[in-house]
Amino acid sequence: MSNYNIWQTYQSFTRDRSVSRTRLQRSVVRRILSYALPYRSLIVLFLITVTVASVLAVAQPLLFRRIVDEGISVGDAGLVTWTAILIAALAFADAGLGLVGRWYSARIGEGLIFDLRTEVYDHVQRQSVAFFTRAQTGALVSRLNSDVIGAQQAFTSTLGGVVGNIITLVIVLVAMFALSWQITLLALVLLPLFLIPARYMGRTLQALTREQMQTNASMSSQMTERFNVAGALLVKFFGDPGREAALFAGKAALVRDTGVRIAMANRYFFTALTLVAALATALTYGVGGNLVIAGTISLGTLIALVALLAQMYGPLTALSNVRVDVMTALVSFERVFEVLDLPPLVAPPTRPRPLPNGPLGVEFDDVSFRYPAARDVSLASLESIAVAEVDRPSADVLDHMNFSVPAGTMTALVGTSGAGKTTITALVARLYDPTSGVVRIGGVDVADVESQELREAIGAVTQDSHLFHDTIRANLSFARPDASEEDMVAACRAAHIWHVIETLPDGLDTVVGDRGYRLSGGEKQRIAIARVLLKAPRIVILDEATAHLDSESEVLVQQALDTALANRTSLVIAHRLSTILRADQILVVAGGRIVERGTHRELIGRGGMYADLYTTQFASSAS
């Protein structure tokens, strides 16, 4: 038995056998086959290549028999020479077919990976924000990596392996029975000696592999949390290097110990199969040698039988586990389909309506909202808590809310934490749909506006504006990919950040670091404002954009905001008095309702909730 066949056996028997109990619906199988249609010509050529390669592999032992019995034994040098040349030619042909088959396999497999990954990525991008707040990023990335790769194996290694093994096994058994039925039966009787250690060690390796994945995940989790900037800062302020090192060493030790056990289990596996293969070869030579001496078979037949024997056990053992191999690949498809079949919470409009030209007003018409249940936005397999929360009811966050923001004006939203202010801005941007009522922009229901047009109309600056780990130029152009460098410089000047950027060694090509941590909070905010200015939206949402800035940064950011908000409709969630004083109207939100509305002077004069908030929350910022 060759090392390649032993490796095939190892891969097959170390897979999780629990997948064999999975029942796939016919519709799933048909859907899987639909992904093969664009590659049907390549798949046919790939299977033909596999078939021819299997035939050539069996032909070589029969040529060994001919070269010994009809050439060497009778002294026919010419036959020996030409047969040897033919064997060499078949070896080259087999090598060439291997390369061709590998190209077909790679072309089919990588094509399927591309198709599935791009489809899943595009679908996930269209999910609502609620989906991303619940799904575990690692589990989601695994669908695009491990499961997609597992799915493509159904059409490459699994399909090719099954077809190749069946053809090889049939031809080998026919040839062996024709040469010597006695030795063939003996070889088949020895088959359990291959299967028993394979199945036993396979179960052991499955358990060890799962344990290794868990320990690796725990170790990787610590590294991921400690190696990003926020985690590193937390460790610097509160952590103990010795304690951190000891914690990591404990997890790394588990990985080490599991790795040693897996290495030894692998060695036991290969040693057992190698010993059994050697035993089978020895028995074949022993029995076959006596048959040669007795004149029952020729020496060339014995040599051919030994060569064929090495090609019989690999396909036999692999096919004995074929259901696990096939189901492993198909279950990966099912897990990918699970993500693709989750409909986006925010559906595209069936009959889109364009937004009017010019400034846009905002209107909330009897709007109520509660956050969706887990079953509506996520998958239990992508989060550890979804099953526990799936039936948990959600309370109303907004309750029959009515207000309007005239085009070109600023409306400030104030209230205690959890009152529903951020939810209001999320509904304007249609990150969610209201439970009841209508949100309108420019007189058009946001549910009737194409998502791309809505994105172009709205810009936002949040309390913690996110920057990608990329250059300043890339972070700015994310808002407007066709922006020229002159446009970017102008936006940065208007945002009062250009004087900082031009002093950096690489200017706009400076890499901002993980989440922009190479910049100060005020610098990040001003770049975020420059991004909004570059986009030039007609509606601007500010979600506590100056909440945690120092006085100097606040002045610069406020100047930038003045430019960003000029002649634009704006909704501002503010914790700073300076922002509120310039608002055309202030909406006081409490318990999902608007309890007060008016200008700063009007609301102070009423002596209600806003006056209390002003006294406790805003007045201190006036000095």
DSSP 21: G
Amino acid identity, residue 283? Answer: L
Placement of tokens 């770049």 in the chain? 527
Per-residue pLDDT band at 388 (split at 50, 70, 90):
very low
Phi, psi at 553, each rounded to 5° = -65, -35
Q: Between the CA of residue 441 and those of 227, 347, 457, what are the distances in Å?
A: 43, 18, 10
Tell me the whole-structure pTM to 2 decimals. 0.73
Nearest residue to 31 (alpha-carbon basis) of 160, 127, 143, 154: 154
The Cα 206–Cα 597 span in angstroms is: 64
Determine the average pLDDT of the residues in 569-585.
80
Beta strand pairing call for 585-590 and 436-441: unpaired
pLDDT of 127 strictly over 70: yes
Secondary structure string (H, E, C) spanning 211-277:
HHHHHHHHHHHHHHHHHCHHHHHHHHHHCCHHHHHHHHHHHHHHHHHHHHHHHHHHHHHHHHHHHHH
Residue 598, beta-bridge partner list: 586
Per-residue pLDDT band at 385 (split at 50, 70, 90):
very low
| Cβ(416)–Cβ(119) below 8 Å | no
Strands (E), 63-196: none
Determine the average pLDDT of the residues in 439-449.
94
CA atoms in the 13 A half-sphere facing the CB of 118: 6
Residue 370, beta-bridge partner list: 396
Say which residue, 566 or 499, is predicted with more confidence.
Answer: 499
Amino acid identity, residue 214? Answer: Q
The arrangement of strands across the sheet holding 444-445 comes to 396-405, 362-370, 436-441, 444-445
DSSP 372: P
pLDDT of 428 strictly over 90: yes
Phi, psi at 392, each rounded to 5° = -75, 125
| Cβ(323)–Cβ(422) below 8 Å | no
Per-residue pLDDT band at 361 (split at 50, 70, 90):
very high
Q: Which run of H or E residues covers position 597?
A: strand 593-598
Domain 3-201+263-340, CATH class in plain words? mainly alpha
Nearest residue to 461 (alpha-carbon basis) of 570, 358, 303, 307: 570
Taking only the tens place, the pLDDT of each residue in 288-306 is 888 888 888 888 888 888 8
Which residues neighbour 301 within 8 Å (Cβ) at sequence distance 6 or greater?
Answer: 65, 69, 179, 180, 288, 292
Percent of the chain with pLDDT over 70: 82
Q: Between the CA of residue 17 and those of 206, 240, 262, 326, 331, what are the distances in Å?
A: 9, 44, 18, 11, 12
Placement of tokens 């031809």 in the chain? 171
Tell me yes or no: is domain 362-621 CATH 3.40.50.300.
yes
pLDDT of residue 4: 46
Task: Kindly state the tokens that stand for 92.
Answer: 């080259």
Taking only the tens place, the pLDDT of each residue in 510-551 is 988 877 778 887 888 888 888 888 888 899 898 876 655 666
Which residues neighbour 375 within 8 Å (Cβ) at sequence distance 6 or greater?
Answer: 386, 390, 391
Q: How far does Cα 62 stand from its chain's mean position?
A: 49
Domain locations along the chain: 3-201+263-340, 362-621
Task: Kindly state the tokens that stand for 427.
Answer: 């509904």
Helix, strand or coil, per DSSP, at residue 352: coil
Winning range, highest mean pLDDT, from 66-80, 102-116, 131-145, 358-372:
358-372
Return mean pLDDT, the chain: 80
pLDDT of residue 50: 85
Which residues neighbour 442 within 8 Å (Cβ) at sequence distance 6 or greater?
Answer: 355, 356, 360, 361, 407
pLDDT of residue 553: 65
Placement of tokens 């006294």 in the chain? 615
Per-residue pLDDT band at 185 (split at 50, 70, 90):
confident
Phi, psi at 588, each rounded to 5° = -95, 120
